[in-house]
């Protein structure tokens, strides 16, 4: 009989080659790098958030691969594709608690029944950890941005090309044209 060692936050600090990972159900889950469109879209969102929040003292924008340490029964961390955080700085360590606003951009293999179930589970984890608003971005679908809110997690607001998306109440006053995802 073998016992499986539970992954720790310290294991995240040692992920090889500056890789991206999360701890789910005690396991270190490595996340493959993304391609051109998902990476560009996530960067554009983080850049827009940063520009908006500059000098406002309302929170900080973060790009892909930022680690958030959380304490859920089946999850110890998140690493969203873009995010906005209102908590205290942690210096060189992972941020403590969930981001107020998180963005998950679908990658090439984030489609199909299994992927949909995993995305829904992660959405629930974000809300249980304290995230107020979650964007699920689908660059291939007509419903490009689905905005889920903890206040009504089963009824997302949907934004398409030509429209302007928001992240109320997590980032009050910030908006982003959906078309900017593709620049």
Residue with tokens 């600090």: 13
The three-class DSSP label of residue 147 is strand
The helix (H) or strand (E) run that includes residue 170 is none
Long-range contacts at 59-64 (CB < 8 A, ≥ 24 apart): 59/84, 59/85, 59/86, 59/100, 59/171, 60/84, 60/85, 60/86, 62/95, 62/99, 64/20, 64/34, 64/39
Cα–Cα distance for residue pair 88/159, rounded to 1 Å = 31
User: Where does 34-182 sit in CATH, by number?
Assistant: 3.90.1570.10
Summarised one tens digit per residue, pLDDT across range 126-146 is 999 999 999 999 999 999 999
Per the CB < 8 A criterion, the answer to whether 126 and 134 are in contact is yes
Q: Where are the domains of the chain?
A: 34-182
pLDDT at 93 over 80: yes
Distances (CA, A) of 175 to 18, 162, 167: 31, 13, 7
Per the CB < 8 A criterion, the answer to whether 182 and 137 are in contact is no
Task: Of 7-11, 96-100, 123-127, give the lowest mean pLDDT range.
Answer: 7-11
Q: What is the pLDDT of residue 15?
A: 76
């Amino acid at each position: 009989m073998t016992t499986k060692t539970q992954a720790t936050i310290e294991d995240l600090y040692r992920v090889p080659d500056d890789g991206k990972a999360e701890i789910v159900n005690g396991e270190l889950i490595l996340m493959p790098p993304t391609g051109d469109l998902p990476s560009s879209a996530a960067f554009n969102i983080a850049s827009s958030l940063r520009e908006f929040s500059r000098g406002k003292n309302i929170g900080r924008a973060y790009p892909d691969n930022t680690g958030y340490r959380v304490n859920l029964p089946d999850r110890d961390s998140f690493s969203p594709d873009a995010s906005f955080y209102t908590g205290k700085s942690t210096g060189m360590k992972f941020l403590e608690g969930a981001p107020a606003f998180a963005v998950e951009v679908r990658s090439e293999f984030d489609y199909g029944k299994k992927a949909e179930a995993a995305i829904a589970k992660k959405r629930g984890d974000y809300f249980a950890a304290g995230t107020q608003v979650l964007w699920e971005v689908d660059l291939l679908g007509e419903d490009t941005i689905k905005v889920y809110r903890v206040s009504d997690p089963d009824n997302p607001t949907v934004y398409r090309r030509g429209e302007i998306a928001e992240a109320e109440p997590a980032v009050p006053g910030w908006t982003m044209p959906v078309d900017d995802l593709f620049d």
